[in-house]
Amino acid sequence: MWLVENAVAIAREPLKHVQVREYVRDLVSDAEPGTPAPSERELVQVFGVARMTVRQAMDTLVAEGLLERIPGRGTFVAKPRNEVGRLLSYTGEMQRRGLHAESQTILARREQAGPGVARALELTEGDAVIHWKRLRRADGQPMCVEDAYLNEVLLPGFLQSGMPTSLYQALAMRGLRPTWAEDSITADVPTAEEAQSLEIALGTPVLRVARRAVADDRVVEVSRSVYRSDRFTLYVQLGDS
């Protein structure tokens, strides 16, 4: 099964341009717009790779809008496009709102995909999936309960490797940063269990968001989240064409 071999290889020694890309992404993630990124030749030295490899890494970050190249001057942190409707992790969403995000794992284990999850993840029923359920907090208060299923084949050793704080960051390290997602959104009332976790009264309206996240044309995550409507408003942008 080549997929397994390949996944292991990726886990052990990621593609060089991915290594460089994620290294720079980390460096840059907390930086102010306008901060210079390492120059391409500097990264060539640090990683001992060819310049074209560095450029491949930087090309991606530039395409993402994270960096901006100015010929003759260098590469700099771009000012974030204030695009609502961008695909962000929970942590990213909360940061955009100026809130501190925390998570508390309720459940994390390997399971066999049921029919619904298998279809959503484009797997076969009974295939291994990772079931990860978390209570998400913002500034210390309950915000959301997220119930996620991940394609286990794409994330070997995920449960053993120590659970990361940010799922999207963990995916990015494996070259599986979600590039787009489909959400379906509805209003509902919480179950008794959800109401208890979210510390709200039964009958309080909540926002349910079902997500399919895709990276590299593969469905990596499907999740159902339930948000406290008194603390959370969802912002989306609709394009034309």
Return residues touching its own copies (CB under 8 A).
52, 59, 63-66, 81, 84-87, 178-189, 203, 205-207, 227, 229, 232-241
Are the C-beta atoms of 165 and 182 separated by less than 8 Å? no
Judged by CB under 7 A, the residue of 8, 29, 41, 164 near DNA is 41
Residue 151: partners with Cβ closer than 8 Å, 6 or more residues away: 121, 123, 129, 130, 218, 219, 220, 221
- 179: partner contacted, choices its own copies, DNA, none (Cβ within 5-8 A by kind): its own copies
Which residue's CB is nearer to DNA, number 138 or number 220? 220
* Three-class secondary structure of residue 148 per DSSP: strand
Judged by CB under 7 A, the residue of 25, 28, 40, 197 near DNA is 40
Q: Among 230, 26, 199, which Cα is nearest to 104's?
A: 199
Residues in the chain, overall count: 241
- Nearest distance in Å: CB 194, its own copies: 13
Residue 73 main-chain phi, psi, to 5 deg: -110, -50
- 129: partner contacted, choices DNA, its own copies, none (Cβ within 5-8 A by kind): none
- 72: partner contacted, choices its own copies, DNA, none (Cβ within 5-8 A by kind): DNA
- Nearest distance in Å: CB 210, DNA: 30
Q: Which conformational region is residue 185 in: left (phi greater than 0), alpha (psi within -120 to 50 degrees), or beta?
A: beta
Residue 36 carries which DSSP code? B
Residue 97: partners with Cβ closer than 8 Å, 6 or more residues away: 138
Are the C-beta atoms of 132 and 150 separated by less than 8 Å? yes
Judged by CB under 7 A, the residue of 50, 107, 185, 202 near DNA is 50
Q: Is 218 among the residues that bind DNA (CB under 7 A)? A: no
- 64: partner contacted, choices its own copies, DNA, none (Cβ within 5-8 A by kind): its own copies
Q: Is 69 among the residues that bind DNA (CB under 7 A)? A: yes
Contacting residues toward DNA, per CB under 7 A: 2-3, 6, 15-18, 37, 39-42, 48-53, 55-56, 69-75
